[in-house]
Amino acid sequence: MIPLLAALPLSFAFATALLLPLHRKNLAKYLFLTGAFVPWGVFLLGGEGSEIVGGWTRMGGIEVAVGVYSRWFILAELLLFSIAALYSVVYFRGKVKPFVLLLLIHTGLLGAFISRDLFNYYIYMEVVSVSTFSLVAFPGSSEAKKAAYKYLMLSMISSYFFVFAVGLLYLKTGYLNLYLMSQVVTQSKEVAAAIAIAFTSLLLKAGIFPLHSWLPDANSAAPTPVVILSGITVNVPLYGMLLLSTYLPLSVQFKAALTSIAFISMFAGVGMALLQRDAKRLLAYSTVSQMGYALIGIGTGNPLGAVYYSFAHSIIKGGLFLSVGSLSDARGSRRLDALSYRGDVLIAVSVIALSLAIGGVSPFVSALGKAEILQGLTWGRWLVYLAGVGTLAAFAKLNYWLSRGVGVRVGGVYRLLSIIPTLLVMGFGLYLYRAFQPFDAVTVGAGILTFALLRLSGLTDRGIGFELPVGRDVSINAALYALFLLLLLHVL
Amino acid sequence: MGMTLVVKKTTTLVAPFLVTYGAYLALYGYASPGGGFQAGVILAVSAILLMTAYGPKQVKKHFPLGEVSLLEGFSGLFLTVLALAGLMFGAFFLNFLRPYLPGGTVVPFNVGVALKVAAAFILTFYLLSRWVDRD
């Protein structure tokens, strides 16, 4: 049953693609919605377990599984994709190609989250990436094309290095299946190098700090339904890191290096978010910072923390992009001072609630993630609290600007959908966490105070803007990737 | 319009043989070197050769864009349906035709992949030929 999670959306993707030459465009949305929702049935009926595709043995076949960790990723994916699917039916009305590409993203995400085999994982990660490139470029503006090109080049460079690392591991162990690999793997220089290369590639795809530069561009230029999914697409590389770290031996200093990178990413992301004047870029830089939190879970050998945190983050970020994206689509501008949620209670409530949630405030599910992350951390707990204050300051900035000015009319479906992530984040928080921490009020207060001080000093309004030609931009980032790779190879 | 008579004549003569070779690779690939992807590329090459010799417009007349994308979609759907059909016999992607056919489901898979790859390559060249000013 488990492979059907990926197979059914794929067959619906092909069926939807057929409608274009058959001149049956009007059926596209029904096929698309069926393909989007049908994996729910497989997920709910199938339960947990592991399976080898085609009834082969583990040594000869491809293993897929729904496990303790992956079920959270799959649940987040299904929830977020359902919202994005309903949104895109209205957004891409009368088109066919975006529906096909979105179903391919659906396939890729589910296929990556069920895979227990490195090469299979790589293939599905590529399915997600390639469909995302074309959807980022879909608006056709020069900004979108540039962002898609940059994302394509950087993502492809890291993909090739990743598949090289998979090849190295295959050479040393003779398997691609992670369980079998973990049975025979021994500590050696080649394995350590392969792990370092694979991690560097996945860090780029997850948007961790020095390698993040494609993420704000892609997230600000892509159409709104695609950006809603950005919260979950960055979880695919995270799941890969989780697989690598649970099945393969990571050295102590490598884990320490990952934790340090995570902290740097947390603060760099928050710092950049505070400086932005573009609402979507602010959210994108917040993703850079939030992925740092999840990476702490990997670095400290605490997968459950990483899983809970990224589960919470994907839904929260999806909801924020939905609300802010709808506002900016309606206004036709992404500048913070042009946007406002005045006169729109649903969007205002969801933006405020999700802003609190992203800071890890306690009735929401992200508080659980944060608590789990903190549990595994032996040093630098105060840094996590500090980054939380920074995140809340950045979102105080978002809310400050959105609560001023004149509101715009947002379509009814978009408004109704914007409240769903808020309810989900609240509901899962109450169901899973059930604790209320009064200390969070202090964090929120500190966040607002920080923003007020920064605003008084005039730092947050200046903005930073310099634009390189896209070719040079890609070259610089590729060089940065190479340097980072050397650094991680040095640490091992 | 297109290249010289020699090139045109040669490609017209070579193309049918390429199609035969592609079909052979797809149908017999389960037991010999070959397989769906290689067969598909060779099938596509026969059309691409004609496209370079006669110009894309001529070839598009014989293989219209709509028909090629129809073939692509159908072969993709065929592959997933074949994989899903294994479910009725026990497992996803199960080789349920093994007792009845040499190679079992591998043969229809190779044919499906060959058609899919060939259609995809031809479509790619159609799209690229929009930037070619010749012809």
- pLDDT (tens digit, 9 = 90+) per residue, A334-346? 888 888 888 788 8
Residues of A in contact with B127 (CB under 8 A): none
Instruction: Report the residue of chain B nearest A18, measured CA to CA.
Output: B73
Q: Does A193 touch chain B (CB under 8 A)?
A: no
Q: Does A325 touch chain B (CB under 8 A)?
A: no
pLDDT in tens, A235-249: 999 999 999 999 988
Residues of B in contact with A21 (CB under 8 A): 66-67, 69-70, 73
The domain limits of chain A are: 251-461
At a CB cut-off of 8 Å and minimum separation 6, what does A214 contact?
A147, A150, A151, A154, A155, A204, A207, A477
Asked if the Cβ–Cβ distance from A7 to B72 is below 8 Å, we say no
Q: Provide the residue type at B76 as one letter.
A: G
| Average of per-residue pLDDT values in chain B | 87
Asked if the Cβ–Cβ distance from B95 to A54 is below 8 Å, we say yes
Asked if the Cβ–Cβ distance from A17 to B72 is below 8 Å, we say yes
Spatial distance between the Cα atoms of A403 and A88, rounded to a whole number of angstroms = 27
Residues of B in contact with A3 (CB under 8 A): 92-93
Evaluated on CA atoms A281, A287, A290, A291, the torsion sign reads: negative
Q: Provide the residue type at B41 as one letter.
A: V
In 3-state terms, what secondary structure has residue B45? helix
**Nearest by Cα to A108 from A15, A205, A259, A7:** A7
Residues 46-75 of A with CB under 8 A from B: 51, 53-55
| Cβ neighbour number for residue A297 with a 10 Å cutoff | 29
B81: closest CA of chain A, how far (Å): 7
Residue A209: its pLDDT value, please?
85
Return the number of CB contacts < 8 Å for A and B. 49
Spatial distance between the Cα atoms of A342 and A356, rounded to a whole number of angstroms = 19
Asked if the Cβ–Cβ distance from B74 to A18 is below 8 Å, we say yes
Spatial distance between the Cα atoms of A237 and A246, rounded to a whole number of angstroms = 14
**Nearest by Cα to B81 from B112, B107, B115:** B112
**Which residues of chain B are at the A interface, by a Cβ-Cβ cutoff of 8 Å?**
66-67, 69-70, 72-74, 76-77, 80-81, 83-84, 86-87, 90-95
Torsion of the alpha carbons at A252, A253, A257 and A259, rounded to the nearest 10: 30
Q: Which helix (H) or strand (E) holds A52?
A: strand A49-52
**Nearest by Cα to A150 from A88, A218, A100, A89:** A218
Asked if the Cβ–Cβ distance from B76 to A17 is below 8 Å, we say yes
Task: Go through chain A and tell me how many residues it has.
Answer: 492
pLDDT in tens, B61-110: 888 888 999 999 999 999 999 888 888 887 788 888 888 888 888 889 99
**Nearest by Cα to A198 from A249, A142, A159, A253:** A159
Asked if the Cβ–Cβ distance from B74 to A3 is below 8 Å, we say no
Spatial distance between the Cα atoms of A374 and A366, rounded to a whole number of angstroms = 12
In 3-state terms, what secondary structure has residue A466? coil
Residues of A in contact with B94 (CB under 8 A): 54-55
Instruction: Report the residue of chain B nearest A2, measured CA to CA.
Output: B92
Mutate to test the interface with B, among A1, A2, A10, A14 (most CBs of B within 10 A): A14
Q: State yes or no: pLDDT of B134 exceeds 60.
A: no
A7: closest CA of chain B, how far (Å): 7
* Cβ contact A441:A359 at 8 Å: no
Spatial distance between the Cα atoms of A344 and A398, rounded to a whole number of angstroms = 16
Q: Provide the residue type at A365 as one letter.
A: V
Spatial distance between the Cα atoms of A6 and A109, rounded to a whole number of angstroms = 8
At a CB cut-off of 8 Å and minimum separation 6, what does A462 contact?
A275
- Angstrom CA distances, A294 to A261, A266, A394, stand at 11, 10, 19
Report residue A489 as tokens.
Answer: 């190879």
Q: Strand pairing partners for A66? A: A49
CA angle A237, A63, A1 (to 5 degrees): 105
Mutate to test the interface with B, among A18, A101, A123 (most CBs of B within 10 A): A18
Q: Provide the residue type at A374 as one letter.
A: L
Q: Provide the residue type at A218 as one letter.
A: A
Residue A122: its pLDDT value, please?
94
Residues of A in contact with B72 (CB under 8 A): 17
The string of DSSP codes covering A153-191 is: HHHHHHHHHHHHHHHHHHHHHS--BHHHHHHH----HHH
Buried b (16+ CB within 10 A) or exposed e, A341-356: beebebbbebbbbbbb
Buried b (16+ CB within 10 A) or exposed e, A25-54: eeebbebbbebbbbbeebbeeeeeeebbbb
The string of DSSP codes covering A119-154 is: HHHHHHHHHHHHHHHHHHTTT--HHHHHHHHHHHHH
Residue A51: its pLDDT value, please?
85
**Nearest by Cα to A48 from A116, A105, A108:** A116
Residues of A in contact with B64 (CB under 8 A): none
In 3-state terms, what secondary structure has residue A65? strand
A94: closest CA of chain B, how far (Å): 19
Report residue A238 as tokens.
Answer: 């995270």
Residues of A in contact with B77 (CB under 8 A): 11, 14-15, 18
Residues of chain A with pLDDT under 50: none
At a CB cut-off of 8 Å and minimum separation 6, what does A431 contact?
none
Instruction: Report the residue of chain A nearest B93, measured CA to CA.
Output: A54
Residues of B in contact with A4 (CB under 8 A): 84, 87, 92
Residues of A in contact with B87 (CB under 8 A): 4
- Angstrom CA distances, A421 to A72, A319, B98, B116, stand at 16, 5, 48, 39
Instruction: Report the residue of chain A nearest B64, measured CA to CA.
Output: A21
Residues of A in contact with B89 (CB under 8 A): none
Q: Does A10 touch chain B (CB under 8 A)?
A: yes
Q: Does A7 touch chain B (CB under 8 A)?
A: yes
Asked if the Cβ–Cβ distance from A7 to B92 is below 8 Å, we say yes
Burial class (CB in 10 A: 0-12, 13-18, 19+), A492: middle
E strands along A221-345, which residues?
none
A486: closest CA of chain B, how far (Å): 36
Supply φ then ψ for residue A177, to 5 degrees: -70, 130
Mutate to test the interface with A, among B70, B92, B94, B115 (most CBs of A within 10 A): B92
CA angle A346, A350, A356 (to 5 degrees): 150
Residue B1: its pLDDT value, please?
58
HSE, side-chain direction, 13 A CA sphere, residue A346: 20
**Nearest by Cα to A399 from A464, A355, A345, A334:** A355
Spatial distance between the Cα atoms of A175 and A196, rounded to a whole number of angstroms = 19
Please name the member of A14, A53, A55 whose beta carbon is closest to the beta carbon of B77.
Answer: A14
Report residue A95 as tokens.
Answer: 């088109």
B15: closest CA of chain A, how far (Å): 26
Burial class (CB in 10 A: 0-12, 13-18, 19+), B85: middle
Residues of A in contact with B84 (CB under 8 A): 4, 7, 11
Spatial distance between the Cα atoms of A331 and A338, rounded to a whole number of angstroms = 8
Please name the member of A3, A14, A21 whose beta carbon is closest to the beta carbon of B76.
Answer: A14
pLDDT in tens, B18-62: 999 999 999 988 888 888 899 999 999 999 898 888 888 888 888
Asked if the Cβ–Cβ distance from B69 to A21 is below 8 Å, we say yes
Give me the percent of chain A exceeding a pLDDT of 70: 99
A360: left (phi over 0), alpha (psi -120 to 50) or beta: left
* Cβ contact A12:A31 at 8 Å: yes
| Cβ neighbour number for residue A333 with a 10 Å cutoff | 14
